[in-house]
Amino acid sequence: MKPADYRLESSWNPGGGPHGAFTFTLFNLSGAALSGFKLVYTSLTRVIDATACANATFLRRNANFHEFEPPAGLTLAAGESWTFTVAGLHRPARHCTDGAKSAYLTLSSGKHVPVAVSDLLLEGRVSEPPPVLLPEGRLDLPFALQPWPAEIDAKPGDSFPVILYPEGASADELSAISTCISLTRRLFESDHSVFNLVTSPQGRALTFNKDASLDAEAYRLTFSADRVTLSYSSSAGRQYGLTSLAQMLNGARVSQGKFRFPVSGTISDHPRYSWRGCHLDVSRQFYPVDDVKRLIDILAWFKFNIFHWHLTDDEAWRLEIKAYPQLTTTGVLRGPDEPLLPQLGNGAEPVDGFYSQDDVRDIVAHASSLHVEVVPEIDIPGHNAATLVALPELTDGQEAPESYHSVQGYPNNALNPAVPLTYEFLEKVFDEMVELFPSSYIHIGGDEVANGSWLASPLARKLMAEEGISGTFGLQSYFLKQVKTMLDKRGRKLAGWNEVAHGGGVAAKDSLLMAWENPQVGIELAEQGYDVVMTPGQAYYLDMVQAEAFQEPGASWAGTVPPAHSYAYEAAGEFPEELKHKLKGVQACIWSEHFLSRGYFNRLVFPRLPAIAEAAWTPKASKDWDRFAAIVTLSPKL
């Protein structure tokens, strides 16, 4: 790899302005003089006062894209640097990932060249030891089960079988074992297989027992010295039973002093919640098909059953729609000379990425083979900057530009409820989506429409007058009711974020809303009759920092979320008894604004993802943080 020609160092001084100030220093390491250039960086700590800038001119900003020019005539000889400061920030920096995520130079020739960036330093900082996020843990029973089962009364053996092999299995049961062998092999590539299809004298026999009295996701394992019996009523419960066997045997092998395999007794298991979800935002950062499939493998390993696929957002529309090819050409391409500018870690090189309909079928089939349902999300009406760049005919041409801004800083980014083409567009998108996704729910977003949206649109004003609608959220409800009708017509239920309920909301029947802003909102939604999944940012947003220290990476607007808190949080905690039936489950959310690398992903997602798996599955009385901590070191990673 070629060494960087330029490097941008940055620090943040808490006293430098109402929200502190950045000091940036650009080093010229190229060996040649540099002049006549502009500097771009991307940062989630946005500059909102263009004048609060010293020794540079602030040229423009779009969301987290920022462009600056040095003082006229500045030349940096080889080895020299240029320093400028920027105050006028929209909020203080709190962590090392709140500075420049990427940077590049635009030379006088128009060429864009990469600039390496360093982590944001806190001026006047003291050295802080890394936080201890996970204790060593403690095991009362030496079984590598995660999530921990509902009931366990099993005795550990002194030795463990070389392999488990089926006896008297049906074709379908053999196939289920084969699927589990493949899953285990993908997750632990260098570990020994836990099942054989052929009989093995050194192994232990596995027999299956169909038991119609068990729930679909339940299973029972009965152990003896020469046999394991797996009772189940449906393929999901059977998969969970096989996964538990694979976890225990694999754990006993890789960590022999710590884990064992049962020699007698039973495990009777079933999930606490029917919705055990994990969301992934593939708009801000693109995840190739193989990464998505591996995440689904990890979900299956931890007995999640929902993959909520956040396919569109301001930064890109990632789902191929044959009726609108522009969505995945213009609508995914971010680059210095493209209509969509670099954001969130993008640099001089354009980036793109989308899922073809063949990719989607592949991913949905993969998930389905592991009893994971893919719930697709197109986020509407807000969060549509990329859509509106790709399809400008969806805008009201008479609407004043920059008439409102989203919380992420995007101007005029919401589909307009008063543009007739909006509905034609969505009908066609849903037509293609229902062919691709067999899920009973389609998630339509509904979050973070900026108050004031559409109020400068003459078409929206006219609609409001005609229909007697007041305000942005009245318009939003008018729009979402029509979206709900589109889904009803296609036999699908509506899932959305909690703001779907604003301004009158949609019919509660067959509508499930995700409470993300705070736990209380989930109870309010249940009172209004909606089904609810709890995804509060304060416990289940895996992009949040895990400790207070400035050096900890991550977002912090919802607070600090240590793994112990994700584990301990009780979604049902405040729910009144009479509303508990409305709580369908819990969900982890992986928002990817900060997720620039696999290492970063793994550091923030683990161990919090398995912690949420256990919160989703294990009865409250059986949750045990120390036991969880002792087992989670075995967790596979992306």
- Which residues are catalytic, by number? 313, 383, 448
Please report how close the Cβ of residue 379 comes to ligand ACM at its closest, in angstroms: 8
Decide whether 27 or 516 has the Cβ nearer to ligand ACM: 516
Q: What is the 3-state secondary structure (H, E, C) of 404-428?
A: CECCCCCECCCCCCCCHHHHHHHHH
CB-hemisphere CA count at 13 Å for 490? 26
Give residue for tokens 């990425």.
353
Please report how close the Cβ of residue 407 comes to ligand ACM at its closest, in angstroms: 8
Helices (H) and strands (E) in the chain, counts: 14, 27
Decide whether 261 or 540 has the Cβ nearer to ligand ACM: 540
Distance separating alpha carbons of residues 72 and 488, to the nearest angstrom: 61
How many residues of this chain bind ligand ACM (CB under 6 A)?
A: 4
Please report how close the Cβ of residue 514 comes to ligand ACM at its closest, in angstroms: 7
Cis peptide before 607 (omega within 30 of 0): yes
Check binding of 281 to ligand ACM (CB under 6 A).
Answer: no
R_g of the chain computed on alpha carbons: 27
Q: Cα dist. 336→47, 113, 197 in Å? A: 19, 10, 55
Q: What residues from 488 to 547 belong to the interface with ligand ACM (CB under 6 A)?
A: 497, 516
* One character per residue 438-467, x = contact with ligand ACM (rule: CB under 6 A): ---------xx-------------------
Q: Where are the alpha helices (DSSP H) in 255-395?
A: 289-301, 357-369, 385-390
Q: What are phi and psi of 231, to 5 degrees?
A: -100, 140
Check binding of 606 to ligand ACM (CB under 6 A).
Answer: no
481: nearest Cα among 468, 494, 472, 490 = 494
Decide whether 188 or 497 has the Cβ nearer to ligand ACM: 497
Please report how close the Cβ of residue 12 comes to ligand ACM at its closest, in angstroms: 25
Give the E-state strand segments of 224-319 in sequence order.
227-232, 262-269, 275-281, 306-310, 312-313, 316-317
Cβ of 508: how many Cβ atoms within 10 Å? 17
Distance separating alpha carbons of residues 563 and 579, to the nearest angstrom: 28
Collapse the DSSP code of 242 into the 3-class scheme (helix H, G, I; strand E, B; otherwise coil) and give the result. Answer: helix
Spell out the long-range contacts of 104-109 with Cβ–Cβ below 8 A and sequence spacing 24 or more: 104/39, 104/40, 104/336, 104/342, 104/347, 104/348, 105/6, 105/34, 105/37, 105/38, 105/39, 105/40, 105/348, 106/37, 106/38, 106/40, 106/336, 107/36, 107/37, 108/35, 108/36, 108/37
Decide whether 485 or 518 has the Cβ nearer to ligand ACM: 518
Check binding of 314 to ligand ACM (CB under 6 A).
Answer: no
Decide whether 304 or 497 has the Cβ nearer to ligand ACM: 497
Cβ of 464: how many Cβ atoms within 10 Å? 21
* One character per residue 389-408, x = contact with ligand ACM (rule: CB under 6 A): --------------------
Decide whether 9 or 448 has the Cβ nearer to ligand ACM: 448
Pairing verdict, β 583-590 and 275-281: parallel
DSSP of 535-594, one letter per residue?
--HHHHBTTB-SSSSTTS-SB-TT----HHHHHH--TTTT--GGGGGGEEEEEEEE--TT
Residues at the interface with ligand ACM (CB under 6 A) = 447-448, 497, 516
